[in-house]
Each structure stands twice: as C-alpha cells, then as structure tokens.
C-alpha cells in the first residue's frame, strides 16, 4: 500500500510553518494515542502514520529532502538513508511527546534521580580604586553564608540514624500522576528528586545539613581588573543541604572613577591644559602616570588644541598575556580669561602683524564661506 503524502496525513499545506505543523500533529496524537484507544489497531496505525509524518516535517533538513524527493528520500538505498520500516515508534516518538506533555508521558519516561541540594551561589560587590586595579591587591572580605553542619556532618540526620527512603516516591525520586487519559512522571515534590527522607532530623540544623554563619575570606584581585569584572571562587558559596555540594562565590568588581584618568579597556586617557603661548611656541611638560611616577612630553610649536600624544605601555596591565595598555594625553589650549594692560597690548600688536600663514585653518574656513555666500 502506497504511503500517503505527509502533508495530507497532518492536514497541513506545504508552506505551513513549524508551529502549524506541530499544532496539527498534536491534535492527531491526542486523538489517536494508544492510551486512549486501547486495542484499536486502526487508531494505532493512524497514530504511527501521524508520528512518522511529524518526525520528517518537524526537521528542516528532513523536510527539505522530502519536498525534493518525496518518500524515496527515506527508502533504503536513497542517498544512503534508511527508511522507517524498522522504526521503533514506542521509544523514539516518546521524545516527541515529551516536548508536548513533559517527561514521562505514557508512563515510559526515563527514571532518573535528580537532586537540587546544591548550595546557592553568592554575590559580593567590591569597590576598588583605579590605582588598586593597576597594582592588584589582596582583600579580606566578610559575608554571611551557610556552612555544613558539624554535628551531622551535613547529612541532616541525627547522629547514629540513617537517612530513609522518601515515603511519597519510595526512594525513586519521581512520582506518577494521571492527567486525563495520560500518565505523567514528575520529580517528587516531597524529596525534590533525591529519593531520601530525614526521619530523625539533626537538632542543630533541623535536618537541613547546614547552618547560618559569618565567614572571612582573603581574596586576590589581579592586576588590570576592569569595572564589572566578575571573579568566580568555586565552592565558596552557601553549603548544600543534606550533603549537597557548595555553591560558588562571585566577586563583582567596581572600579571607582578617577579625578585625572579616564579608562577604556586597558588604555588610559588624560587631558592636560596648556597656555596659548606654550601651544604656539612649544614647550616640555611633565604629566602624572597611574603608577605614581611622571612622564615628560615635548609639545611642538604650533600644537593645536585637542592634539593627542601617545605614551606606550603607560596604561593598565593586561590581565592575560602580560604587557600594558597605552596612555593618551590630550592637550587643550586654554584661552586666558583675565588680561592685564601689557598682555592686551602685546596681543593687539600680534593681531596687527599676524598673517594667513600663521592661521591656515582660519584662511581655509573663510575661503569656503566666501564660496558658499557667492552661491
């Protein structure tokens, strides 16, 4: 008997999207599922037919092959692909149903014991200066957390008493429940999947296996950390309950802004004001560096305001690979705001004798302006 077209089986058009194909299959799967139609061979065949169609059309690669070659794309010998003649619907399509109805559909779900006893991760925010980020440092921190109970050694059970099996799931870690005509297997809500139950809880920790405490820890802040850097300290978070593993401690570094330097990754930027005379005639200036030292910069005659000078490897340390970033110094020409009579006279005389060669940018600007006004 020739196979029906997969699109006809699901009742969808060839240009249907993934959601439409999934919705159509779900309706047919619910209608013809064997759990609802026990002993009905016709319904079982329709269920298999719909499942086979969905298996192909729900996958973009398989769907493309089917659109190009039809059923021949999956027959033995066609492009090296095997067909569905030996396909195990009972096991393989349970995965499809788990997408719709959750783990354990039809009572065939995988039995697994999943625990959620790991301790919580903790966050600690630490503010440091830019100088400390440059040098690196060791810092003692204090924080509240939970630690393993020393009375029961973290088991949660009173010393001398063993941990029992969960009374709800019988130690399996999962329970089954009926939802309409389906049977769903879920994580046991009483033991959270551990399969264990504390029948004689420890008096010190009330069966939790951990107690609140305050901890001090010495941490190392590496050179070159940037604002927002996250440092993970494995196993330094809260203790797990009933023998579960400890969580992690995360340090979030906040680097304070600096009065002189601005930072961009591993490079530093510094703005230095200079006078009109120094910009015009040239000079040597000394500027501070982040390591507490000084650096000398030669300002050439005719330096324009906003000019940047690069000092190699005077920036922040690289956290990986070694080396340093650069320091960029931008000079800004400061126009005097208060002049005495002698200064004014000298500037008036300078204005009388200056020419276009002294101010090429001004000459270029007014040339463009005159051309604009003519138009």
Pair 248, 272 in one domain: no
Burial of 50 from C-beta contacts in 10 A (0-12 / 13-18 / 19+): buried
The pLDDT, as a whole number, for residue 151 is 87
What CATH number does the domain containing 150 carry? Answer: 2.10.230.10
**What percent of the chain has a predicted confidence (pLDDT) above 70?**
82
pLDDT averaged over every residue in the chain? 81
Pair 153, 238 in one domain: yes
Pair 187, 295 in one domain: no
The pLDDT, as a whole number, for residue 363 is 67
Pair 143, 251 in one domain: yes
Using alpha carbons, list the distances in angstroms from residue 36 to 93, 186, 318: 16, 21, 65
Give the whole-angstrom CA distance, residue 357 versus residue 364: 11
**How is residue 344 written in tokens?**
């004014």
Question: Which of 255, 290, 314 is the last residue in one of the domains?
Answer: 255
Spacing of C-alpha 123 from chain mean position = 16
Question: Which of 255, 277, 297 is the last residue in one of the domains?
Answer: 255
The pLDDT, as a whole number, for residue 96 is 54
The pLDDT, as a whole number, for residue 182 is 62
Better-scored residue on pLDDT, 277 or 96: 277
Whether 342 is covered by a domain: the verdict is: no
Question: Which of 255, 270, 285 is the last residue in one of the domains?
Answer: 255
Whether 108 is covered by a domain: the verdict is: no
Whether 228 is covered by a domain: the verdict is: yes
pLDDT at 372 over 90: no
Give the whole-angstrom CA distance, residue 39 versus residue 60: 34
pLDDT at 8 over 50: yes
Please list, in sequence order, all residues whose beta carbon lies within 8 angstroms of the beta carbon of residue 151, skipping any fewer than 6 positions away.
Answer: 159, 202, 203, 204, 205
Pair 265, 199 in one domain: no
pLDDT at 108 over 50: no
What CATH number does the domain containing 282 carry? Answer: 2.60.260.20
Give the whole-angstrom CA distance, residue 143 versus residue 126: 12
Give the whole-angstrom CA distance, residue 183 versus residue 35: 9
Pair 250, 326 in one domain: no
- Report the pLDDT averaged over residues 188-207: 81
Lowest mean pLDDT across 112-121, 183-192, 364-373: 112-121
- Report the pLDDT averaged over residues 258-262: 93
- Report the pLDDT averaged over residues 66-73: 76
What CATH number does the domain containing 38 carry? Answer: 1.10.287.110
Better-scored residue on pLDDT, 235 or 374: 235
Pair 138, 244 in one domain: yes
Counting DSSP H helices and E strands in the chain, the numbers are 9, 15
pLDDT band of 63, cuts 50, 70, 90: confident
Domains held by the chain: number: 3
**How is residue 226 written in tokens?**
């940037």
**At residue 285, what are phi and psi to the nearest 5 degrees?**
-125, 155
Domain span at residue 97 reads 6-101
Pair 56, 127 in one domain: no
Pair 85, 143 in one domain: no
**At residue 154, what are phi and psi to the nearest 5 degrees?**
90, 0
Pair 269, 233 in one domain: no
* H-state helical runs in 224-290: 276-281
**How is residue 137 written in tokens?**
């440092």
């Amino acid at each position: 008997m020739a196979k029906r077209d997969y699109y006809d089986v699901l009742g969808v058009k060839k240009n249907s999207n993934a959601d439409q194909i999934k919705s159509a299959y779900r309706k047919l799967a619910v209608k013809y599922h064997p759990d609802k139609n026990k002993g009905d061979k016709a319904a079982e065949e329709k269920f298999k037919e719909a499942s086979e169609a969905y298996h192909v059309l729900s996958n973009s690669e398989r769907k493309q092959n089917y659109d190009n070659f039809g059923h021949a794309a999956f027959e033995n010998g066609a492009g090296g692909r095997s067909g569905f003649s030996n396909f195990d619907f009972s096991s393989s399509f349970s995965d499809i149903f788990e997408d719709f109805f959750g783990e354990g559909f039809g009572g065939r779900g995988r039995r697994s014991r999943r625990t959620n006893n790991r301790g919580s991760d903790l966050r600690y925010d630490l503010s440091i200066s830019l100088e400390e980020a440059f040098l690196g440092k060791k810092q003692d921190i204090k924080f509240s957390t939970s630690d393993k109970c020393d009375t029961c050694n973290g088991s949660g059970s009173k010393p001398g008493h063993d941990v029992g099996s969960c009374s709800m799931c019988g130690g399996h870690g999962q329970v089954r429940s009926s939802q309409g005509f389906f049977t769903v297997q879920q994580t046991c809500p009483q033991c959270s999947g551990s399969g264990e139950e504390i029948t004689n809880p420890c008096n010190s920790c009330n069966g939790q296996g951990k107690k609140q405490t305050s901890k001090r820890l010495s941490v190392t802040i590496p050179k070159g950390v940037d604002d927002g850097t996250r440092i993970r300290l494995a196993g330094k978070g809260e203790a797990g309950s009933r023998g579960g593993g400890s969580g992690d401690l995360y340090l979030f570094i906040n680097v304070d802004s600096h009065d002189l330097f601005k930072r961009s990754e591993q490079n530093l930027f510094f703005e230095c004001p200079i006078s009109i005379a120094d910009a015009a005639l040239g000079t040597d200036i000394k500027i501070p560096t982040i390591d507490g030292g000084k650096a000398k910069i030669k300002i050439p005659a005719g330096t324009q305001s906003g000019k940047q000078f690069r000092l190699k490897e005077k920036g922040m340390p690289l956290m990986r690979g070694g080396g340093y970033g650069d320091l960029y110094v931008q000079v800004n020409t400061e126009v005097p705001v208060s002049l005495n009579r002698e200064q004014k006279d000298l500037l008036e005389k300078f204005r009388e004798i200056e020419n276009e060669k002294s101010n090429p940018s001004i000459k270029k600007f007014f040339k463009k302006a005159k051309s604009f006004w003519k138009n």
